[in-house]
Amino acid sequence: MLDVIAVSALIIYITRVVLGYKQTWDRYQLLVNRTLYEKTLASGFGSVHFLLDASEQQQVNCRWTVGNTCERFIHEKFKEKIEMPVDKAMDTLLRLGLVTEQPFDGYLKLQAVPCVKAYKALEQRWNSLIGLG
């Protein structure tokens, strides 16, 4: 009888340890996923999304205007003064096919592609990065 109680207690103890470890592991994974999600939002995709929205609202802009708009937006929302690397961001948007540049009155004007086309371009890019396409 004592053997059955000892084995049952041991099984219960091992189960508690395993479940406690699993719970700790799940919390750790959640923390990692949250951190990665926040980093992703803070990286290029957040900038691309903002620039795409800004470009849709003002169909034609120059790089300088977009840079000032981004800097103002970040200052208003986050109270941080930054210098937007517009040339890098524009090169990325052009490379991803989210924006086109057209000569107009001696300047290069930006034109955002339609949302559906931009979504498909981003989806294809994402799928190629994770190996789905």
How confident is the model over 69-115, as pLDDT tens digits? Answer: 888 888 888 888 888 777 787 888 888 888 888 887 777 777 888 88
pLDDT on residue 43: 60
For residue 35, what are the domain limits?
1-42
Q: Is the pLDDT of residue 121 over 60?
A: yes
Partnered with residue 110 across adjacent β-strands are 61, 101
- Of 119 and 48, more confident: 119
Write phi, then psi, for 13 (nearest 5 degrees): -65, -45
Q: How many folded domains does the chain comprise?
A: 2
Residues 99 and 126 in one domain: yes
Which of 79, 92, 95 has its CA nearest to residue 44? 92
Could you give the CA distance from residue 71 to residue 63 in angstroms, rounded to a whole number?
12
Task: Record the pTM.
Answer: 0.43
Residues 52 and 36 in one domain: no
Residues 7 and 62 in one domain: no
Could you give the CA distance from residue 1 to residue 89 in angstroms, rounded to a whole number?
73
Residues 31 and 77 in one domain: no
Q: Is the pLDDT of residue 60 over 50?
A: no
Write phi, then psi, for 130 (nearest 5 degrees): -95, 5
Residue 51 · residue 68 · CB < 8 Å: no
pLDDT bucket at 45, cuts 50 / 70 / 90: low
Residues 63 and 51 in one domain: yes
